[in-house]
Amino acid sequence: MPSSIQLILSLSTVFLIISAPIILANSDSIEDRFYQCVNLHTDLSIPFPKAFFTPKNASTFASTLESTAQNLRCLVPSKPKPKLIFKPLQESHVQAAVICGKELGIQLRIRSGGHDYEGMSYTSATKSVPFILIDLANLRSINVSIDQNSAWVEVGATVGEVFYRISQQSKTHGFPAGLCTSLGIGGHITGGAYGPMMRKYGLGVDNVVDARIVDATGRILDRESMGEDLFWAIRGGAGGSFGVLLAWKLRLVPVPSIVTGFTVPKTLEQNGTKLLYRWQQVADKLDEDLFIRVLIQTVNSSSEPGKRTVLTVYQGLFLGRIDRLLRVMKREFPELGLTQKDCKEMSWIESALYIAGYPSTVRPEFLLQGKPFMNKTHFKAKSDFVTEPIPEHALEGIWERFLKEDAPFSIWNPYGGMMSKIAESATPFPHRKGRKIMIQWLTAWQADDAKTEKKHFGWIRELYEFVAPYVSKNPREAYANYKDLDLGMNNIHGNTSLMKASLWGMKYFKNNFKRLILVKTKYDPDNYFRHEQSIPTLHSLSEGNVNKLFN
């Protein structure tokens, strides 16, 4: 294969004599055969160094692997690495990758923006299963059509790039997707995609009108040719189960030319616990133009030197101007004590930077770099849905635990509005009416070692147990985009037990899990697209009868 040939040509004669037999012996490796097969299935020959990255070239391999990978915990040396990274340059390359991967019996890991919480787009929990990484970062074109109130977006584009391109065409159009601007629109939309306009317009998946996907046979399908079952499944059934998405067609939503952002911090000493209890009572009932989330972390106390305290930061986006916001707040949530000086008027695109936590010196053009502003960390996270406000004594129990951890973090997102108006079965994302708040629990650290990881895993698992009585039950719901392998894993060698799959499947999808299994069985009967928490097929479920689970 060309890489071997190039390598041979570039090496000295002496070294060639020693190394040639090794290279030749390697030339039948799975990655070589994959490369040959992909070239055979595409019209033009793909220049190797432009699109393929092998561990033989350690530095480019590592930088390509690390490029968009967000969770450093999933990049540590002990984590399985791909045999090869392929970065398709056009859609037909993705088709070839699926056909060849299937033919050679090697698994694919599919990556758009690399923000998967368990790194399932670039590593594996099972060492013995080799895989090739298909990194879609080169497929990132965005075509906004204000006339048609829509945008076609290739999966490798980040949320921030999409927002920016929309804002370049119009100050009064937007799209309701995530708060973090470096998310890949590909993986992000597959699991739901919530953001600061969810109360007004619902999730990203609620505003997708078409898609292009490469299915398990290598065909490219759009909404019309895939049919409504598969189109339903890909809008919330999470990534890596049904095929390789190439692009989404998004429906734009109206936004005012001026919106208002605000930030109000409260520590425990400032009655933070009481206020958070009050916020839980009102957050889902506020005016639909208003989104107030709470970011929770620990900080040094300013009143008592040497003491730590919990800081709750109320961060808001209001789809309107300051004067109306202040009237709404006075009527609906006066306890926060919001004043004019906490508020800032801005354009919608500036609000995307504001809510993502960028300093005000960062300009919207930064979004075109498609990378996060924050430094990467090692992290572990979990999610919960709240149906009744968590009582103050339980909040105090949470603070007690937070104060024992190095860098705990939690984000509480308000529900209500459009989220309550969409039926649980409208998309695979089932967490709709009756939920007041979605919580994310997170802990982060910097050291690479297993001992440190174990300590932080222990902390978050204990917190998760402690919170159990105060959150949704039967099932305890979880957000599929906040992937958590503690909830259970498939046997990715093949058969998966129904009982095991339903442990995580019911939490992420509730009764939609059944329809997801049926769609999966129809479109990928061989269960080619699989990972630790991919939707299983009926055939691959080794015990029980699917109907039993849902009756």
Ligand X SMILES: *[C@@H]1O[C@H](CO)[C@@H](O)[C@H](O)[C@H]1NC(C)=O
Ligand Y SMILES: Cc1cc2nc3c(=O)[nH]c(=O)nc-3n(C[C@H](O)[C@H](O)[C@H](O)COP(=O)(O)OP(=O)(O)OC[C@H]3O[C@@H](n4cnc5c(N)ncnc54)[C@H](O)[C@@H]3O)c2cc1C
Residue 366 binding result from ligand Y, ligand X, none, given CB thresholds of 5 to 8 Å by partner type: none
Give the other-Cβ count within 10 Å of 202's Cβ: 24
The helix (run of H) or strand (run of E) holding residue 285 is: none
Contact of 171 with 348, CB cutoff 8 Å: yes
Contacting ligand Y (CB under 6 A), which of 70, 123, 124, 280? 70
From candidates 63, 143, 369, 446, binder to ligand X by CB under 6 A: 143
Closer by beta carbon to ligand X, 247 or else 463: 247
**Nearest residue (CB) to ligand Y, 246 versus 326:** 246
Q: Which of residues 456-485 bind ligand Y (CB under 6 A)?
A: 481
Paired tokens of 467: 């919170």
Q: Considering the complex, what minimum distance in angstroms separates the CB of residue 497 from ligand X?
A: 10
Q: How far apart are CA 500 and CA 491, in angstroms?
A: 9
Interaction of residue 446 with ligand X, rule CB under 6 A: no
Q: Label residue 208 left, alpha or beta by phi (over 0 means left) and psi (-120 to 50 means alpha).
A: beta
154 interface partner picked from ligand Y, ligand X, none, CB below 5 to 8 A per type = ligand X
Nearer to ligand Y, 216 or 506 (CB): 216
- Regarding 491 and contact with ligand X (CB under 6 A), the answer is no
Query: Residue 369 interacts with ligand X (CB under 6 A)?
Result: no
550 binds ligand X (CB under 6 A): no
How many of the chain's residues bind ligand Y (CB under 6 A)?
A: 33
Residues present in the chain in total? 551
Residue 239 touches which member of ligand X, ligand Y, none, C-beta under 5-8 Å by kind: ligand Y
Give the residue with the Cβ less far from ligand Y, 115 or 235.
115
Which residue stretch of 147-155, 158-166, 225-233, 451-459 sits at the interface with ligand X (rule: CB under 6 A)?
A: 147-155
Position among 47, 334, 458, 494 found at the interface with ligand X (CB under 6 A): 494
**H-run or E-run covering 380:** strand 378-386
- Residue of 70, 66, 67, 63 whose CA lies nearest to 483: 70
**Residues 302-331 interacting with ligand X (rule: CB under 6 A):** 306
**Helices marked H in 69-142:** 91-104
Indicate whether 495 belongs to the interface with ligand X (CB under 6 A): yes
Instruction: Tell me if 192 contacts ligand Y by CB under 6 A.
Output: yes
| Residue type at 383 in one-letter notation | S
Q: Among 26, 141, 148, 257, which residue interacts with ligand X (rule: CB under 6 A)?
A: 141
Q: Which is nearer to ligand Y, 241 or 273 (CB)?
A: 241
Q: Which residue has the tokens 């996907």?
A: 213
Q: Which residues contact 455 (CB under 8 A, 6 or more apart)?
A: none
Binding mask 115-144 for ligand Y (x = CB under 6 A): xxx--xx--------------x--------
Rounded Cα distance between 308 and 246, Å, is 47
Q: Considering the rule CB under 6 A, would residue 179 count as an interface residue with ligand Y? A: yes
Structure tokens at 364: 């919207």
- If one asks whether residue 359 binds ligand X (CB under 6 A), the answer comes out as no
Among 36, 37, 129, 152, binds ligand X (CB under 6 A): 152
Calpha distance 147→276 (Å, rounded): 43
Q: How far is CA 111 from CA 44, 47, 87, 383, in A?
A: 24, 21, 10, 22
Judged by beta carbon distances under 5 to 8 A according to partner kind, the member of ligand Y, ligand X, none in contact with residue 245 is: ligand Y
Site string for ligand X, 38-67 (x = CB under 6 A): -----------x-------x--x-------
In the chain, DSSP finds a helix count (H) and a strand count (E) of 20, 18
**What distance in Å separates the CA atoms of residue 49 and residue 403, rounded to the nearest whole number?**
49
Q: Is 503 in the site for ligand X (CB under 6 A)?
A: no
546 binds ligand X (CB under 6 A): no
Residues 429-448 that bind ligand Y (CB under 6 A): none
Alpha-helix runs per DSSP H in 413-543: 418-421, 450-467, 498-509, 512-523
* Candidate residues 12, 78, 361, 375; the one interacting with ligand X per rule CB under 6 A: 375
Q: Following DSSP, what letter does each residue of 176-211 receive, concatenated? A: ---S-TTSBHHHHHHH----TTHHHH--GGGGEEEE
Residue 225 engages ligand X in binding (rule: CB under 6 A): no
Neighbouring CB atoms inside 10 A of 412's CB total 23
Measured N-to-C along each axis, helices 512-523 and 498-509 cross at an angle, to the nearest 10 degrees, of 120
Of 74, 193, 325, 353, which lies in the binding site for ligand Y, with binding defined by CB under 6 A?
A: 193
Binding partner selected for residue 494 from ligand X, ligand Y, none, CB under the kind-specific 5 to 8 Å limit: ligand X
Query: What is the rounded CA–CA span in Å between residue 197 and residue 203?
Result: 8
Radius of gyration (Cα) for the chain, nearest Å?
A: 24
Binding site for ligand Y (CB under 6 A): 70, 109-117, 120-121, 136, 155, 178-180, 183-184, 186-188, 190-195, 239-240, 244-245, 481
Binding site for ligand X (CB under 6 A): 7, 49, 57, 60, 141, 143, 152-154, 247, 270-271, 300, 306, 373-375, 494-495, 542
